[in-house]
Amino acid sequence: MMNNLLQFTTLEIVMMIALLLPFVIQLVYHFNLYRGISRHCHDEQVGNLPYQKEYLPISVIIIARDDADDLEKFLPLVLEQDYPDFEVIVVNDGATDECNDLLKRIEMKYGNLYHTFTPNDAHHVCYMKLSITVGIKAAKHEWLVFTEPNCHPVSNQWLRLMARNFTDSTELVLGYSTFHHGEAMWQHKVKYYNFFNQLRYLNFALKDKTYMGCGRNLAYRKSVFFNNKGFSSHLNLNAGYDDIFVNEVATPFNTRVELNPESVVMMEAYETESRWREERSNYRSTCRLYKGKQRFWLGLETCTRILFLLFAFCVIIYSAIVQQWVLLGFSALLYILYYVSHIIIFDGAAAALGEPKHYLSYLRRDFQQLFVTIKERIIYSSSEKSEYDR
């Protein structure tokens, strides 16, 4: 009886190999890549990370465009940071609302706030890149910290925590940003996608293989910007002011990551799902320009995850139909092990970053992400690349 149970057809042997291979690759990613954030936060807690003790002066740069409501709510949280020497520069990018009047009122209360503007007749260039350049030229200090009008630091220690990474050899610091909880189901999906995307690029940065960054919580030296000739290599794109720029200037030796939960920047939840889809489209248009092999390794992770989920589903169905219980148990065991490791690693990173844990929702998120990824790849591959140019 036991011998019969352990007899497999050639097809079933191929199925087991096809299921086992992506499973092993996924475990390697879980424990070798995605575990990095938890290890980094543990090293910080036990004092194993070297930090800068001197607080260098900082210029915080925010680009505003019809963002008066957000600035009124969140700008004071930036201006009231517990930091000895910093200025905040808001670049009013041709706004048509009451931004200008609001900024003048706030300047009367805060002596370290300055605002400037982007000329309206200069919008034949990507407005965000031009506005950032205007802000950088107006900045007094070498170290620049960037965030956005609809974002706010979760504590008044944000700048102190970012600045402790401004060592002599550091030119670039990546921080973590997240979304407020929204009530709609799609807003929960967006929050998870943001968490997963940052989990990937921050863990690569911790391995000295930085390939992108996010402008909601980002710092770099002014000299790095000008040495790179700003955004000159990708002025034809509407996107790329943060991710492509970081990809161009990052080296294995000049980048640090700040992950303390009090250094997190919180962003308002998107009001419409189309806004998030626009952001995803921008990422699709810029990631093709990334240098380095990280895009290949990320593609391998995505492909093996999709293949494992599809193979596991197909093998379980096949095994149940032909009543091959050993094969059914084998495939079910692999999926349980995959799922458990997923929960341990991802929820460990979420806890370290101050994010809520997802637990059983990973099952839904995995299949949800599978279909969204396939859909996005089909849409982008059928689109003209010129659609993403300015």
Check pLDDT > 50 for residue 390. no
What's the whole-number mean pLDDT along residues 63-88?
A: 93
Q: Which two tokens stand for residue 157?
A: 């220690």
Q: Could you give the C-alpha distances from 71 to 11, 38, 131, 296, 338, in angstroms and in order? A: 62, 33, 17, 39, 44
State the average pLDDT over residues 287-304.
87
In sequence order, the 6+-apart residues with CB closer than 8 A to the CB of 35 are 345, 348, 349
pLDDT band at 90 (very low <50, low <70, confident <90, very high): very high
pLDDT bucket at 249, cuts 50 / 70 / 90? very high
In this prediction, residue 275 has a pLDDT band, given cuts at 50, 70 and 90, of: confident
Instruction: Tell me which residue of 249, 256, 270 sits closest to 178, measured CA to CA.
Output: 270
pLDDT digits (tens, 9 = 90+) for 158-212: 999 999 999 999 999 999 999 887 777 778 778 888 888 899 999 999 999 999 9
User: Looking at the predicted structure, is the pLDDT value of residue 101 above 80?
Assistant: yes
Using the predicted structure, report yes or no on whether residue 387 has a pLDDT greater than 50: no
Q: Which CATH architecture has domain 49-291?
A: Alpha-Beta Complex (3.90)
Selection from 175, 390, 171, 373 nearest residue 286 by Cα: 390
The residue among 366 and 257 whose pLDDT is bigger is 257
Question: Band of the pLDDT at 12, cuts 50, 70, 90?
Answer: confident
Q: How far is CA 1 from the centre of its chain?
A: 53
Q: What are the sequence ranges of the domains in the chain?
A: 11-35+295-388, 49-291
pLDDT bin (cut points 50, 70, 90) of residue 123 is low
* Range with the largest mean pLDDT of 90-94, 135-139, 237-241, 299-303: 135-139
Average pLDDT over residues 270-294: 80
Considering the chain, what is the average pLDDT of its residues? Answer: 86
Name the pLDDT band for 244 (thresholds 50, 70, 90): very high
pLDDT of residue 285: 75
Whether the full predicted model's pTM is greater than 0.85, yes or no, is yes
Question: What is the structure's pLDDT at 124?
Answer: 55
What Cα–Cα distance (Å) separates residue 315 from each residue in 4, 15, 319, 327? Answer: 19, 7, 6, 8
**For the segment 345-378, what is each residue's pLDDT rounded down to a tens digit?**
999 999 999 888 776 676 677 767 666 666 666 6
Please, which residues bridge with residue 147 across strands? 62
Residue pLDDT, tens place only, 30-46: 999 999 999 999 999 88
Average pLDDT over residues 266-278: 81
Residue 379: predicted pLDDT: 61
pLDDT at residue 227 in the model: 95
Residue 57 banded pLDDT, cuts 50, 70, 90: very high
Q: Which of 80-84, 283-287, 328-332 has the highest mean pLDDT?
A: 80-84
- Of the chain, the percentage scoring pLDDT greater than 90 comes to 51
